Chains A and B, each alone.
Chain A
Amino acid sequence: NAGVMQNPRHLVRRRGQEARLRCSPMKGHSHVYWYRQLPEEGLKFMVYLQKENIIDESGMPKERFSAEFPKEGPSILRIQQVVRGDSAAYFCASSPLAGRGQPQHFGDGTRLSIL
């Protein structure tokens, strides 16, 4: 009974490097969401994707951040030229449908640390 799988669980990068975070949704789920949890803060929405489409990226910083969910393979959240302020836990969630009250099921996150 595989849930949402995220990897790596922990990622360490130096300032200026690129970080790639991967998310495989639950089987049968075609809707993926990314959230960020900064230290001592709540979960904040970043982006919502369906296969090959970005539906809502209103929570994603305009620069250095991008997301994709290709026809085959996992969803990728990419952060270019990382800075110290990018250190956070990044969570992916998925749902089978997109509708009123559809619960989103979360993975265990990727903890990104920037040296």
Chain B
Amino acid sequence: EDQVTQSPEALRLQEGESSSLNCSYTVSGLRGLFWYRQDPGKGPEFLFTLYSAGEEKEKERLKATLTKKESFLHITAPKPEDSATYLCAVQAVSIQGAQKLVFGQGTRLTINP
């Protein structure tokens, strides 16, 4: 069964304090790994897609990396507006050619000014 585990569950940082969020996954055949950001009361907002080990993507203070077993979301010099829940999801090969995403529980990030 495809599984995604995110750690830590919650993380508090001071503004400017860099850190990393972890996403470990087990899938039968990875078609893509996705990072989303979710603010309270809102839907997930797409950030990145990673396809293969060694790939990296960057957007402002965020950088996502991928290995064969895990992905990291690095946050450099975060600001209070980066506070949100960050979700990791995988898209796996399936017989039906289905496109479903399997999500982790998320990491709730709080940046204190």
Contact = CB atoms under 8 A, between A and B. Distances in A.
Interface of A: 4, 6, 31, 33, 35, 41-45, 48, 55-56, 58-59, 91, 93, 95, 98, 100-109
A31 B101 CA distance: 13
A79 B94 CA distance: 27
Interface residues of B, number: 27
A106 B100 CA distance: 13
Given A4-B43, A43-B87, A56 B106 contact: no
Interface stretch (B12-20, B44-52, B76-84): B44-52
Given A48-B100, A59-B100, A98-B99, A103 B43 contact: no
Contacts, number: 75
B98 A108 contact: no
Given A33-B99, A108-B42, A100 B87 contact: no
Given A100-B32, A101-B32, A101-B91, A43 B98 contact: no
Contacts of B72: none
Interface in B81-113: 87, 89, 91, 94, 96-106
B44 A41 contact: no
A96 to B, nearest CB: 12
B105 A41 contact: yes
Contacts of A106: 36, 43-46
B104 A45 contact: no
A42 B96 contact: no
B25 interface: no
B45 to A, nearest CB: 7
B41 A108 contact: yes
Given A98-B97, A100-B31, 14 more contacts: A4-B43, A35-B103, A42-B106, A48-B99, A48-B100, A55-B99, A91-B43, A93-B43, A98-B99, A100-B32, A101-B31, A101-B49, A101-B51, A103-B46
